[in-house]
Each structure stands twice: as structure tokens, then as C-alpha cells.
Structure 1
Amino acid sequence: MKKIYLLLAVLFIQSNVFSQMEEDGWYLSFGVNAINNLGTQSPINSPDDWYFNSVPATLSAEFNWAGNFSIEPSLSYNQIKSGKSLDGGQLDKDYDYIALDTHVKYYFGKFLLPKSNRIELYANAGLGFFHIDETNISANLGGGILFWLSDKKNIALRAQTISKFAFNHPKSGFDNNHFLYNLQLVFKMN
């Protein structure tokens, strides 16, 4: 009986997704990022200690394959300067931060804001690779908001938060759990 309820729920969700399906498309985005790797569980703890240095760039490409679902690989670069605090300790040299992430996104804003044509909310989950002092792999969870700057939906501004949970957290030194924030311009390619 539970399998029947599960099957009905999946069919209901799938019918809602496909009823709202839009044209498949590619989106390219670029912007800036900030890192919060303070060794706390709060995504907003000590904002003055976030890392936003050098050229904090983020590049990504997103493919919308089924209306509310898309996939996005992204590349982020930042730098953590000496003298800053990292996981409670002072740094004696500069460190580069590099992250490669792939996320599946689910856009659910139409369900919460059905009359809004310009605001889209989404949740994302995926895997990532990142390097500060060593290399680690992470499971990622996050979300964001997309604000279309035109009715044609060809350019947008996106704010996104990603929680990166390191696989080898206890032994990873600086390369452990952290938050990655992005602010990007998004361009529709087709």
C-alpha cells in the first residue's frame, strides 16, 4: 500500500513539473563569491571575517532540461590572505581557494509566488571538489533567488548560498565544512 501512495505522489509531482515545463535552455553566468570558513555552523557568523579577496570569481553554465529542473557545473576562485582567521587560527601565508561543483537545481518559486514573472526561487544539491591547503570532496546543499531584469527572461541577477560538507572533515585541516556565497549575472543563451 505504501508503494502505491509513493507512486501516486511521484506521478503527481511529475505532472506538476511537466505542466510548468518551459523551453529547454542554456544559461551562462559569472560573478563574485565570498567564503565563510570560520568553523561554525552559522552561515552568517562574523561577516567581517568572510573571505572576499583578490579576484573572487565564479563562472557557471546551467542547462534546464525539464521545466523546473536543471543541472549546473560551476568554478569558483577566491583567496584567503595571511593574517586572517581560518577555523579559529591566524594564517601566516596566503591560500588560494578553488572549487568545482555540480548541482541539480529544482525551481519551486512558481508554487510560492505564482503571479511573479521575474522572481524564481530554487534549491540545489550536488557534489563538489575544493582546495585550500589540501584537496577534499564535498556534498553540497543550498538555494538561491533569481531576479529577471527583463520580461524576456534573458538576463538576471542571482544570489546563492551553498553549504559544502567535506567528506573527510575530521582530518582535512583547513579543507573542511564551509559556506560559499555567490552573486552573479545570468544570461540566457538561446
Structure 2
Amino acid sequence: MKHLKIAVLALLLIASYSNANAQDKENPWMLTFGTNAIDISTASDATSGYFGSYKFDGNNVNVIPWLSRVSVARYIGKGFGLELAGAMNKVDRPWGAGSDVTFFGLDLNVKYDLNNAFGQTGWFDPFLYAGLGENWVGAENGLGLNLGAGFNAWISDNVGINFTSGYKKVNTPVDFKMFQHSLGLTWKFGNKDNDGDGVNNKDDKCPEVAGLAEFGGCPDTDIDNDGVMDCCDKCPEVAGLAEFKGCPDTDGDGVQDSKDKCPEVAGLKTLHGCPDTDGDGVADGDDACIDVPGPKGNSGCPYKDTDEDGVIDIIDRCVEVPGPASNEGCPEIFVDQETVNEAAKGINFDTGKSAIRPEVATILDNVADILKQNQNLQFRFSIEGHTDSTGSAARNMDLSNARANAVKTYLVNKGVSANRLTTKGFGQTSPIDSNATKEGRFNNRRVEINEVK
């Protein structure tokens, strides 16, 4: 037993220096030879523990020290493989009384390499398996379910030590459960060399073309004379750069031609090899103002500010009239009062009437246009009605209010918001001319429009 421990430790020490990987598509076959031990759950297990007394007296754990288990496995892909395994042993009789009986099992298992899920671990190669098998126990036989785990400890690229431990539930005239453990030597093989150059496919950079080992299995040729051997040249017939695996960068901007949207004009990597003359982050080909920086959202052109008030036109509510940004580019003070006064000259009425005269309608149309201009929309206005001295003061007060309301109604119908307009009548109290003459009384029968401050 002491010598066996020393041998196992020596093999594990050797395995710790190995860089071998698991069974894979380059070594798809695996052959394993070894010995196995079986522990069948019997009545004696109730007092000695499920795994038995370990006295190796045939009572609980049964071991055949010579070759007693053989398996062959084939890698399928993505970590999965199929294994066909056969084993023989002598076991406690699972039913009835009597001496030990011969056991023989033939199993077909699906194996999964855990390195495929967690990454390669070098020499250590753990796996899980599940499958079905036919089991012969003495003169009886039955189908069994297999579940288990194990690992391979690789000594070299192709040779390793295999340990497997599994659970079986066997369906014979009397169902029983058992554990089967095995230790053996495993060998993986099947590596190919398609081009016959002595370099295995897994290490051959040119697996279909014969070459030299010093060039990774590729031939010593460089058709385009760019210093990149054809074996590693992605563009073998066009001279290129090593940093681009032999592919060209015609304009020398650090972007290889296959990824360069402007392969003949040096540009920026961030713009896929295209230039940006004004440095605004918009490639020249997409920039409507190639020499003046501007945002991408405006096709590389600066936003216009017609009134030069520092508020760009797209957010300036008064594009042609300067005003602070705090007021959306519109003036905070009404600057068009004189314009309104001038436009409103001539809003006069016939004696005793509040109807809008035809010539006054034209005047009011111009006034409405002024009040609706963007820079004036924030201001409110008072429409003030007046009369001459004809008639009673009370009658003239009502008439002045009617004239003011008539003008308001007209302006509202022309699109001026009603909440911006107020009306007030002054009657005959505020004449601007003499009531002693016909012309003076005409001038007094008027409406004025003023900003409400």
C-alpha cells in the first residue's frame, strides 16, 4: 500500500507540470484501461455504513485488482462526448443468500467536460456523466441508470490518469443500488495532419497547405513582398502592413483600407478614416460647412443668429429683433409704440356711431399685423375710445366704450389674442382738437391703442 501511494503521488506531480487539455475535436478519441470497485447496498450496510467496512473481504466493497474495466469515448462537440464502457467484478448477492456472484456491466454514457464551462485548467480535466446500461448479476440481468463524475489528470499531451465514481440503479428481479469506482490509464488520440507536413492540425496555421514547423506549418512564401508571410497574410496578393496582417493602408492614416470609408484621403480613426477639416467632429463628406465648425445636428454648420443677440434662430422667438436669452430672444420693452401710433392714425368714427368705417378697416389691418409680430406677442394693449362734445356726457361715455369694443372685436377677428386687449371709454373728457369746428370734432371721435405697462 505504501508503494502504491508513492506511485500515485509521483504521477500527480508529473501531471502538475503538464499543459495538456481535455479531449477535443483535435483528439476526438479516448481509450481507458483500469480496475474497478463495486459497493452494493445490502442488509449489512445498515450497520457498517453505506460504503461498507472497507475490509475488502467480499462483504461490502468488492475490488478486482487487475484489468477489469475498459472504455472508449468519442468527442462530439461543445464539451460533450459519448462513452461506451464495460466492466466486470464479483459482488455481494443483492438478493437471497449465497456466495458472491459475477457482475458484468455494459454502459453507454453522455459525458460533459466541465472545462468547457469554466475554462481550461491545464492538467486537471473534470467531467460529469449520465447514461444507461445493461447489467448482468449472476444469472439475472436488467437495465440500469448511471450518474457520476470523475476527472482525468494528464501526464502528457495524450496520456493521463482517469478516476471515475458513479451511482447505478439496476432493474433486475429485485431492484438494487450500487456505487462503482474505477482507476485507470487513459489515452486520447485521433489528432490529424491534413497536409502531411508533420505539424498537427491543432498547431498548424495552414492546415490545408504543407509548410515548415518554424512557420507554424505554413510555407515560406511572401507573394506580395510585404514582409508578412503568406501563411499569416490576410491580403497575400496586395502589399500591406504587419499591423494589419498584411493588408494595406493606402492613405497611411492608421485605418486599413477594408475599414476606411475614405481610403485615399488621410483621416481620423473616429471617423472611419475620413478627414474633418474644421475639427467639429463631422466628416467632410457629411459637413455642409467644411471650413466652419458646427454641430452634427446642423450638418456641421454653425446655427444662425440673424439679429445677433446671442440667441440662435432655432430657439429665438424674435429672430429679427434683438432680445435677451432670458426672454427667448425677444425685447423686454415694447419698442414699437411709435409704429403703432403711426399706423393707428385715422381710426375715426361718424357722429353718434361706433361702426368701423371702410377706410378705418385698412388701418386696423396694419395695426393687427404689428401686434401679431413675434417680438410683440408678450405685450398687452389698451384700446381707448373717445367722442366729441355732441350730445350728453353720459351718452358719449357709452358711445366711447362701444367704439373701443368695436375696434377690439375687429382686431380679435384678425388674429390678435383677446387676452392681450383691454378696452376703456373716456367719453368727451380727452379731446385732442377743438369741438368748435367740424374738423376738430371729427378728430376727437377717435380710438387710440397704447401698451399696458
TM-score (norm 1): 0.72
Match of 2:30 in 1: 27
Contact 2:84–2:109 (8 Å) recurs in 1 = yes
Contact 1:34–1:56 (8 Å) recurs in 2 = no
Match of 1:180 in 2: 180
Change in CA separation of 1:124 and 1:115 when aligned onto 2, cut-off 3 Å? closer
* Residue 65 of structure 1, CA deviation: 1.2
Match of 2:132 in 1: 127
* Residue 99 of structure 1, CA deviation: 0.3
Higher strand share: 1
Cα distance in 1, alignment partners of residues 188 and 98 from structure 2? 43
Match of 2:422 in 1: none
Match of 1:10 in 2: none
Change in CA separation of 1:186 and 1:67 when aligned onto 2, cut-off 3 Å? farther
Cα distance in 1, alignment partners of residues 154 and 63 from structure 2? 25
Change in CA separation of 1:120 and 1:53 when aligned onto 2, cut-off 3 Å? closer
After superposition, residues 105-184 of structure 1 pair within 5 angstroms as 105-109=111-115, 111-112=117-118, 114=119, 116-133=121-138, 134-150=140-156, 152=157, 154-168=158-172, 171-172=173-174, 176-184=176-184
1:97 corresponds, among 103, 109, 129, to 103
Change in CA separation of 1:46 and 1:142 when aligned onto 2, cut-off 3 Å? same
Cα distance in 2, alignment partners of residues 110 and 72 from structure 1? 17
Cα distance in 2, alignment partners of residues 29 and 141 from structure 1? 19
Q: Which has the higher contact order (CA 8 A, sep 6+)?
A: 1
1:72 corresponds, among 61, 74, 83, to 83
SS of 1:116 mapped into structure 2: coil
Contact 1:108–1:122 (8 Å) recurs in 2 = yes
Contact 2:36–2:182 (8 Å) recurs in 1 = yes
State the one-letter code of the partner of 2:169.
F
Change in CA separation of 1:23 and 1:54 when aligned onto 2, cut-off 3 Å? closer
Cα distance in 2, alignment partners of residues 61 and 131 from structure 1? 20
Identify unmatched segments of 5+ residues in structure 1. 1-20
Higher helix share: 2
* Residue 189 of structure 1, CA deviation: 2.2
Match of 2:62 in 1: 51
SS of 2:164 mapped into structure 1: strand
Q: Percent of aligned pairs with the same residue? A: 24
State the one-letter code of the partner of 1:66.
G
SS of 1:106 mapped into structure 2: strand
The RMSD of aligned alpha carbons is: 2.6
Contact 1:161–1:182 (8 Å) recurs in 2 = yes
Identify unmatched segments of 5+ residues in structure 2. 1-23, 191-453
Which one has a bigger Cα radius of gyration?
2
TM-score (norm 2): 0.32
Contact 1:74–1:100 (8 Å) recurs in 2 = yes
State the one-letter code of the partner of 1:77.
M
* Residue 126 of structure 1, CA deviation: 0.2
Cα distance in 1, alignment partners of residues 128 and 28 from structure 2? 19
* Residue 72 of structure 1, CA deviation: 0.2
Deviations 1:115-174 (A, max 9, x none): 621101111000011111311111110010111011x2x001111011111235xx42xx
Contact 2:89–2:104 (8 Å) recurs in 1 = yes
Divergent runs of 4+, >2 A = 21-24, 38-49, 53-56, 85-89, 91-94, 109-112
Change in CA separation of 1:100 and 1:43 when aligned onto 2, cut-off 3 Å? farther
SS of 2:121 mapped into structure 1: coil
Contact 1:22–1:67 (8 Å) recurs in 2 = no
SS of 1:77 mapped into structure 2: strand
